Chain A
């Protein structure tokens, strides 16, 4: 079955989620990938959304973080203070799964402003729960389309901490979780170098070359010594993804937030 760059990004991200993991899910691309994992190899994954829904199994993808579908299909629904205090800060979340507007070489994320904070060129929606998830989940996956606008040399604002200035700077900042362990894009997978913590390309999607990745990155991107080729998505997985997106479009009147 043929697939798009978005498909392989979503499928590759989904594959990283292990069955029975507790995953705190952002809306949009992370939500698509997390539900694809649930509907394929990880039927017992525990999905948490920041609206307080725990163990939710939506039949269609939510358009907003607080869709009724998330509450109706959840094992339990708790208040916003409880989800952040007992469940996230309490250390019960294995994987925080985030999207981003901009990212830098240490996987720090900006979703706040382009330009200066006092008089921004573009005012973005802001933090939401992302800084809390990035600080507190045991590890973090980031899913983001790769381009020079998104992969920048220097962020205008650090909304959510990745590996800060690299090395042990995250640990020194007192952040409990391990931080980002994988960045999955439409071109490749990047993982932090074990020592410098700089993002390093570890797997390239079939048909993509290094020149494309270099052109889509705002810094001189590093490659691991051994770079793998990302496995092609299985037909059965792609079919599940198509069906999910089609069901979602139908339920939301022709549009999806799956992108």
Chain B
């Protein structure tokens, strides 16, 4: 691990064609890192994220993605992700291969990845149409009970990117609040970039806190407000108004591109 800039971390660790997971369940979404990936013009990425949210709407709309593994593709509390829909419905700016699963599936698939297993098993999907359209979701028979259970391939990202509240100077990272699937997504990946609100002398974390030791990470970058317009518990609130505004910005291709140029590419 090394403490570095976000620009250097993305340049070194995120490569064209990579399987990339940016995680954060409504909370601690790594927006600043996603924007840096867009600015550095990464292409052909296999994106993975339970809830694509606005950050993947932006990355898909800017042509970073060849595929998307996900489980819920909406704008939370608002409605559609228009860039995601345009890619699926019309292939703009390029076609997007969709690997669609349920929340329990993706969560379990990260656990399998972090556990160095080839697949996860779960009691879901009976009678559901997802396995009919996604050949990666299959069924197995339990060797002990004979029960039929769903099996789903492990997720092993080339690089996982998360945002957290704090790191210490040795690069140990602490996150709290809604911690989502970040620990599993980090430990399932070959390389891990973490952006944090602040670097402090000591984490002062209680023994059972959600801590990722620095030696499990590739790069740690101090990026205050790096999760905005999502939120960082204890630092700032979610900008619900921006999530609503995004609906208008992203609905139209040209407004979207103009917004991205002004606020991401040239900022």
Contact = CB atoms under 8 A, between A and B. Distances in A.
Interface residues on A, range: 35 or more
Interface in A114-146: 117, 119-120, 122-132, 135-136
Residue picked from A67, A120, A122, A255, most chain B C-beta under 10 Å: A67
Given A71-B178, A80-B107, A131 B183 contact: no
23 contacts: A27-B77, A51-B178, A52-B180, A63-B240, A63-B243, A66-B25, A66-B76, A79-B184, A80-B25, A80-B180, A81-B110, A84-B104, A84-B107, A120-B89, A123-B73, A123-B84, A125-B81, A126-B74, A131-B128, A135-B123, A136-B124, A159-B130, A160-B128
B27 interface: yes
B237 interface: yes
A128 B76 contact: no
B216 interface: no
Nearest to B103: A129
Given A52-B179, A117-B133, A81 B108 contact: yes
Interface in A37-56: 50-53
A61 to B, nearest CB: 10
Nearest to A155: B129
B148 interface: yes
A21 interface: no
A66 B184 CA distance: 18
A105 interface: no
Interface SS of chain A: helix, strand, loop or mixed? loop
B231 interface: yes
Contacts of B180: 51-52, 66, 79-80
Contacts of A253: 240-241
Interface stretch (A10-18, A166-174, A193-201): A166-174
Contacts of A255: 240, 244
B74 A131 contact: no
A50 B103 CA distance: 9
Which 3 interchain pairs have the tightest Cβ spacing? A66-B26, A125-B74, A161-B127
Contact of A88 (B70, B104, B111, B126): B104
Given A63-B77, A127-B100, A159 B179 contact: no
B181 interface: yes
A257 B77 contact: yes
B80 interface: yes
A229 interface: no
Contacts of A129: 71-72, 102-104
Interface of A: 27, 50-53, 62-68, 70-71, 77, 79-81, 84-85, 88-89, 108, 112, 117, 119-120, 122-132, 135-136, 157-161, 164, 169-170, 173-176, 252-253, 255, 257
B104 A174 contact: no
A171 to B, nearest CB: 10
B258 interface: no
B25 A51 contact: yes
A71 B177 contact: yes
A252 B129 contact: no
A108 B128 CA distance: 9
A250 to B, nearest CB: 13
A135 B124 contact: yes
Nearest to A257: B77
Given A81-B181, A84-B104, A135-B126, A127 B71 contact: yes
A85 B110 CA distance: 13
Contact of A175 (B127, B183, B210): B127
B108 A79 contact: no
Given A81-B110, A123-B85, A128 B128 contact: no
Residue picked from A62, A128, A160, most chain B C-beta under 10 Å: A128
